[in-house]
Amino acid sequence: MRQEDIDRVRALRLFRDVADETFETLLRASFLQRFPRGLTLIRESEPADFLHVVIEGAVEMFAAGNGRETTISLVHPIGAFILAAVLKDQVNLQSARTLEPSQILMIPAVSVRQAMERDPAFMSAIVAELATGYRTVVKDLKNQKLRTGAERLANWLLRQEKERGAGGKVEIDVEKRTLAALLGMTPENLSRALATLKQHGVAVRGAQIEINERDRLVRFAHPDPLIDDYDI
Amino acid sequence: MRQEDIDRVRALRLFRDVADETFETLLRASFLQRFPRGLTLIRESEPADFLHVVIEGAVEMFAAGNGRETTISLVHPIGAFILAAVLKDQVNLQSARTLEPSQILMIPAVSVRQAMERDPAFMSAIVAELATGYRTVVKDLKNQKLRTGAERLANWLLRQEKERGAGGKVEIDVEKRTLAALLGMTPENLSRALATLKQHGVAVRGAQIEINERDRLVRFAHPDPLIDDYDI
DNA sequence: TTGCATGATTGACAATTATCAATCGTCCAT
DNA sequence: ATGGACGATTGATAATTGTCAATCATGCAA
Find the CATH number of the domain harbouring B192: 1.10.10.10
Per-residue pLDDT reduced to its tens digit, B210-225: 999 999 999 999 999 9
Q: Which residues of A touch B46 (CB under 8 A)?
A: none
Distance A188 CA to D22 C1' (A): 14
pTM (two decimals): 0.97
For residue A163, what are the contacts with CB-CB under 8 A and spacing of at least 6? Answer: none
Q: How confident is the model at residue A201 (pLDDT cuts 50, 70, 90)?
A: very high
Question: Of the candidates B86, B113, B143, which is a domain's last residue?
Answer: B143
- The pLDDT value recorded for residue A232 is 87
Per-residue pLDDT reduced to its tens digit, B15-37: 999 999 999 999 999 999 999 99
| Pairwise CA distance, residues A214 & A200, whole Å | 9
First to last CA, chain A: 33
Distance A221 CA to D5 C1' (A): 37
Closest chain A residue to the Cα of B125, Cα to Cα: A127
> What count of residues does chain A have?
232
Question: Of the candidates B92, B108, B143, which is a domain's last residue?
Answer: B143
Q: Which residues of A touch B80 (CB under 8 A)?
A: none
Per-residue pLDDT reduced to its tens digit, B86-136: 999 999 999 999 999 999 999 999 999 999 999 999 999 999 999 999 999
Return the number of CB contacts < 8 Å for A and B: 148
In this structure, the answer to whether residues B132 and B216 fall within a common structural domain is no
Measured in angstroms, the CA of B2 and the nearest CA of chain A are apart by 31
Q: What is the identity of the amino acid at B164?
A: R
Q: How confident is the model at residue A81 (pLDDT cuts 50, 70, 90)?
A: very high
* Chain mean pLDDT for chain A: 96
State the CATH number of the domain containing residue B101: 2.60.120.10
In this structure, the answer to whether residues B84 and B192 fall within a common structural domain is no
In this structure, the answer to whether residues B125 and B139 fall within a common structural domain is yes
ω into A78 cis (within 30 of 0): yes
Best mutation site among A72, A141, A147, A152 for testing chain B: the one with the most B CBs within 10 Å?
A: A141
Residue A168 belongs to domain spanning: 148-228
- Counting residues of chain A whose pLDDT is more than 70, the rounded percentage is 100
Q: How confident is the model at residue A179 (pLDDT cuts 50, 70, 90)?
A: very high
B 90-109 → A contacts, CB under 8 A:
90-91, 93-94
pLDDT at A49 over 90: yes
Residues A209-228: what's their mean pLDDT? 97
In this structure, the answer to whether residues B124 and B203 fall within a common structural domain is no
Question: Of the candidates B113, B143, B173, which is a domain's last residue?
Answer: B143
In this structure, the answer to whether residues B130 and B34 fall within a common structural domain is yes
In this structure, the answer to whether residues B157 and B120 fall within a common structural domain is no
Residues A54-78: what's their mean pLDDT? 96
| Pairwise CA distance, residues B55 & B75, whole Å | 10
- The pLDDT value recorded for residue A231 is 85
- The pLDDT value recorded for residue A154 is 98
Alpha-carbon distance values, A143 to A192, A216, B64, B157 (Å): 19, 20, 10, 25
In this structure, the answer to whether residues A28 and A130 fall within a common structural domain is yes
In this structure, the answer to whether residues B139 and B172 fall within a common structural domain is no
Distance B56 CA to D5 C1' (A): 28
* Chain mean pLDDT for chain B: 96
pLDDT at B40 over 90: yes
Nearest to A138 among B72, B184, B226 (CB): B72
For residue B195, what are the contacts with CB-CB under 8 A and spacing of at least 6? Answer: B204
Measured in angstroms, the CA of B139 and the nearest CA of chain A are apart by 8
In this structure, the answer to whether residues A190 and A209 fall within a common structural domain is yes
* DSSP label at residue A229: -
Q: How confident is the model at residue A56 (pLDDT cuts 50, 70, 90)?
A: very high
* More confident call, B1 vs A134: A134
Q: Is the CB of B107 under 7 A from strand C?
A: no
Distance B53 CA to C27 C1' (A): 32
B136 contact A CB<8A: no
Domain count, chain B: 2
Q: How confident is the model at residue B232 (pLDDT cuts 50, 70, 90)?
A: confident
In this structure, the answer to whether residues A61 and A161 fall within a common structural domain is no
In this structure, the answer to whether residues B30 and B116 fall within a common structural domain is yes
In this structure, the answer to whether residues B12 and B126 fall within a common structural domain is yes
pLDDT at A118 over 90: yes
